Chains A and B, each alone.
Chain A
């Protein structure tokens, strides 16, 4: 997990640095443009590592085709726009809620969400969160079981494609929310801690219509609480 967190930081730093050089304009070496494409972030574990909760085939298609498709799309869509060479979070926030930037937002939002989703899971995850986060959960929800119930209910109830989230609001209070399609919590001033993907492609090969079974299994066996605590800051 630690190595993966560092990789993201490094990637965003390089992209920001590349954008900075590009802004400097004259004399920017040609390879800077080549450095701009957004990366398809590697999985932080093997494709089979989340089995049997999420099968290797699901992870292979989800990461290798759906997630990659969004990366390939975005790298094409940004060409010649003000977003070329910008870091992913800047593209997400710069296009959110703008009808004429919908295609850019959908692809950027979905890359961001999937990057966050893979890190929200880990083999042998789930169980009880570490002390600092556990205290915040108890403060917000009363106890862990109540949080678990609310997180599952909120996530399962997302109608159509979307995401369930544990977030911190502006006052630092934890909440569970859902977002549709490619929407992200940051546009509502919420800081995401962990997410669960409930696009049907995330679970259909393993669970078909039984979305609740997928969500409960993921909460109990895969959630990466260290990642959530790190995001809490």
Chain B
């Protein structure tokens, strides 16, 4: 049985950037629906009892497994998203992450610009990501719907959800305002450092 990950903070802790109203629907309804769906879908299949990562990897790119993939990957993405944010986050990272960002993008400002542009540019539902490629170089990428960077051999460090449900109650059509505010005030650079390894 998969369980809905507990939020790593109170549901009003990200306000005013992301309000408790948004978080309660996003975590309590959308994220939970994916968990409930997956638990129903795996019953009696070879995937029952497997880890979330194993299901995501095994079902990716298989048309006949789309519902399993969509629900498993959306759980994975949301777990990763909540961890990518923290109250009083944002700012400029230090240490190894800062070095990797400067080496890959030239400067933190250039990274910020590319992260915002790529994420805002995801057409339709999806995700913006800071990732490390196989050579350890950092990149920003976007994925559609439930797609995850791991299937492209990329190691995710941080993500920003741009399904409209992530921001519509707070920002409506102003996706760029949401993305910029998340980058500036909520990104959890400690989580990124841990993922960089």
Question: Taking beta carbons and an 8 Å cutoff, which residues of A are in contact with B?
Answer: 61, 65-66, 69, 102, 106, 159-162, 180-182, 199-201, 204-205, 208-209
Contact = CB atoms under 8 A, between A and B. Distances in A.
Contact of B173 (A69, A160, A208): A69
A132 to B, nearest CB: 35
A49 to B, nearest CB: 20
A208 B169 CA distance: 8
7 contacts: A65-B172, A159-B146, A161-B124, A161-B125, A205-B169, A205-B172, A208-B29
A209 B25 contact: yes
Interface in B120-168: 123-126, 144-146, 163-165, 168
A201 B173 contact: yes
A208 to B, nearest CB: 5
Interface in B41-87: 66, 70
Nearest to A57: B172
A106 B122 CA distance: 11
B104 interface: no
B112 interface: no
B168 A106 contact: no
Contact of A160 (B25, B29, B30, B124): B124
Q: How big is chain B's contact interface, by range?
A: 20 to 34
A114 to B, nearest CB: 13
B125 A160 contact: yes
A159 B163 CA distance: 11
B146 A199 contact: no
B47 to A, nearest CB: 18
A75 B124 CA distance: 20
Contacts of A200: 125, 163-165, 168
Q: Which 4 A/B pairs are nearest by Cβ-Cβ distance?
A: A161-B124, A160-B125, A200-B164, A160-B145
Given A159-B145, A160-B163, A205-B168, A65 B173 contact: yes
Contacts of B146: 159-160
A102 B121 CA distance: 12
B25 A66 contact: no
Contacts of B163: 160, 200
B61 to A, nearest CB: 15
A147 B44 CA distance: 31
Given A66-B173, A200-B164, A208 B25 contact: yes
Given A208-B25, A209-B29, A209-B33, A182 B173 contact: no
A66 B175 CA distance: 11
Given A69-B173, A200-B163, A208-B165, 6 more contacts: A160-B144, A162-B124, A199-B124, A200-B165, A205-B169, A208-B29
A189 B190 CA distance: 51
Interface string B14-48: 00000000000100011001000000000000000
A153 B30 CA distance: 18
A182 B173 CA distance: 17
Contacts of A182: 123-124
Contact of B164 (A69, A102, A162, A199): A199
A180 B124 contact: yes
Contacts of B165: 200, 204, 208-209
A135 to B, nearest CB: 35
Contacts of B173: 61, 65-66, 69, 201
A78 B62 CA distance: 36
Contacts of B33: 209
B89 to A, nearest CB: 25
Contacts of A106: 123
Contacts of B125: 160-161, 200
A158 to B, nearest CB: 10
Contacts of B164: 161, 199-201, 204
A213 to B, nearest CB: 13
